[in-house]
Structure 1
Amino acid sequence: MAVVSANSLEFHVQRLPATAGAARPDRPVVVFLHGLVVDNLSSFYCPLAVPVARSGHEAVLYDLRGHGRTERPASGYDSRTAVRDLFALLGALDLGHRPVHLVGNSYGGTLAVHAALARPDLVAGLTLLEPPLGGAWVENMVDTLSAAALSLEDSPVPAELLTLRLRKAAHLTAIADDLLNRTTLIDDIAAGRTFTPADYARLRCSVLVVCGEHSELVPGARELVRHAPDGALRILPDLGHDVLKESSGALREAVLAHLDATAATAAAAAVAAGPRAGALVP
């Protein structure tokens, strides 16, 4: 575990070097972006991050602002600030000389698209797992988060969980209460803009979207793939919004194949461009 200062915040970071013998310094660094509220970097660790490191990519996982063990300020939960957090963190990790491939789960996928649009020179590829992309999702999520905030306000549940020695559940519940009732997270999500076909058309990197067959997010994924210059959609059968937890084998194969393809493209582009200097702080 490491604590890294970036964008005036302390971030909890896990950094997995590429496995010895498989390391390829020309491959993009793979950065994982998790979902909202009760999610954190640990959801990626065994299903994807370790296999990615074993395949020769360096992997970076971190708890988003306010989540997990990262510092929890009262504000700054909008997508623009999240993108600044991401690239400031990579700069603090001295990764400014390497392209990155972003793997985002759920809301982390939305942030990954924002990052690729903001810094197309730095994002070499996107892998989006069940990304919420449409405007209807924002309305539904705000309603869900608002209801959860009301249920957690002054709730005895965290104390009761501790009494039952369910420390992990108590900790996650306390984090959710803090995020929903004592930060601007819900308001920031509500104020966020949704993507347009023109946004997707501006994506310069390769994009793989993975959704469960029964997920309500499939239409939004099809819209992205329809307009992105280099987009592909993989549908995993018999699943909903749970591909990261319930389909590790098929998901791992799809992600590793996409990473290999992205790495080859990035290497060819680097040779064509020649030596160049760059910084990761917008």
Structure 2
Amino acid sequence: MAFLDLDGLRCHVQRLAPSDGRPPAATAVLVHGLLTDSLASYYFTLAPALAAAGLEVLMYDQRGHGRSERPPTGYRLEQFVDDLGTLLDRSRPAGPVHLLGNSFGGTVSFGLAAERPDEVCSILAIESEPASPAWAAKLDDILRRAEAQLRHEETLAWVTQRHGAHTARLARSAGRLLAGTTLARDIPASLLPTEAELRAIRCPVLAVYGTESDLAEQADLLDELLPSCRSCFVPGQEHSVLVEAPDTVLELTLSWLREQGTELRGPAAGELCPGRYAGRFADRIIHTRESVR
């Protein structure tokens, strides 16, 4: 276990080197979502296979989450973006940097790409969207309802019965985060990037959605907003695509990294045929949509 000081924030970081001991072909920076998420969602899904494919893998618990410090205030989006930028400055990742963001982690990744376009080679956003006034209003509603509901034992008992003890533990931790910090009020009050700043993001973007997710409806908007964006859809999945369909997300990720010029190695690299989403998992995704201008 390692910790870095990110301008006063004690941040839990995990770093995986390529499994074969050779220099990394590139770096994958894995950014998790809000409340019930942590770097563990990547550690037990994508991270080991990406290291086996020859990448350096950089994961961290965002402020207030996992084993990172939980300050009482300071949870606006721009502070999460600054944390990611400082992490890259402190870590000095090897080779091109590819950001993989799950849910809110994708929003943070878009924010960094808008601020530091020369440092981000590509973004793979899983069930995510860039920050906007509509995003802030939606998060305001979600966080206020979560703050009100997760303080009640009957809610946690319902979560245990419906989703199991592990999910209930995550929900209880999320309730403590909301009760002990200003996160629920800070996120909606974030300094949002302008549409012009988002349109200036030039790196390639792959947006992955579950077909049953509400976010899938915004695919056309995102494809129109970003200069080089492709959307793809995992059938039968809702918001938890990463943990519910990790093999499909992994294969999409490996194919995407290869398409960006990353020379993958090891057993995972040989599982996919060259080309865009070809091979044995083609029947597990719906066609992609691409917008390149």
TM-score where L is the length of structure 2: 0.78
Asked if the contact 1:18–1:58 (Cα under 8 Å) also holds between the matched residues in 2, the reply is yes
Aligned length: 257
Cα separation, partners in 2 of 1:118 and 1:219, compared to 1, 3 Å: same
Matched, 1:3 2:21: no
Aligned to 2:14: 14
Cα separation, partners in 2 of 1:168 and 1:238, compared to 1, 3 Å: closer
Asked if the contact 1:28–1:124 (Cα under 8 Å) also holds between the matched residues in 2, the reply is no
Q: CA deviation at 1:155?
A: 5.5
SS at match of 1:20: coil
Task: Give CA deviations for 1:23-76 in whole Å, capped at 9, x if unaligned.
Answer: 453x33111111101110001113211111111110011100000110001122
Matches for 1:197-276 after TM superposition, within 5 Å? 197-264=195-262
Aligned to 1:191: 189
Q: CA deviation at 1:196?
A: 5.7
Deviates more, 1:133-142 or 1:231-240: 133-142
Asked if the contact 2:26–2:262 (Cα under 8 Å) also holds between the matched residues in 1, the reply is no
Aligned to 1:145: 143
Aligned to 2:175: 177
Cα separation, partners in 2 of 1:140 and 1:201, compared to 1, 3 Å: closer
Picking from 111, 116, 121, the partner of 1:119 is: 116
Matched, 1:44 2:42: yes
Deviates more, 1:133-142 or 1:202-211: 133-142
Between the aligned partners of 1:20 and 1:130, the Cα distance in structure 2 is 31
Between the aligned partners of 2:167 and 2:236, the Cα distance in structure 1 is 28
Amino acid at match of 2:225: H
Picking from 74, 99, 103, the partner of 1:102 is: 99
Between the aligned partners of 2:220 and 2:198, the Cα distance in structure 1 is 11
Between the aligned partners of 2:183 and 2:117, the Cα distance in structure 1 is 26
Which runs of 5 or more structure 1 residues have no equivalent in the other structure?
A: 266-282
Between the aligned partners of 1:152 and 1:228, the Cα distance in structure 2 is 36
Between the aligned partners of 2:18 and 2:105, the Cα distance in structure 1 is 23
Between the aligned partners of 2:46 and 2:152, the Cα distance in structure 1 is 37
Matches for 1:154-169 after TM superposition, within 5 Å? none
Aligned to 2:291: none
Q: CA deviation at 1:183?
A: 1.4
Which runs of 5 or more structure 2 residues have no equivalent in the other structure?
A: 264-293
Amino acid at match of 1:131: S
SS at match of 2:45: helix
Between the aligned partners of 2:230 and 2:36, the Cα distance in structure 1 is 29
Cα separation, partners in 2 of 1:197 and 1:93, compared to 1, 3 Å: closer
Amino acid at match of 1:84: D
Amino acid at match of 1:242: S
Aligned Cα root-mean-square deviation (Å) = 2.7
Q: CA deviation at 1:243?
A: 1.0
Asked if the contact 1:106–1:132 (Cα under 8 Å) also holds between the matched residues in 2, the reply is yes
Amino acid at match of 1:217: L
TM-score where L is the length of structure 1: 0.81
Aligned to 2:125: 128
Asked if the contact 2:147–2:184 (Cα under 8 Å) also holds between the matched residues in 1, the reply is no
Between the aligned partners of 2:166 and 2:110, the Cα distance in structure 1 is 31
Between the aligned partners of 1:213 and 1:170, the Cα distance in structure 2 is 26
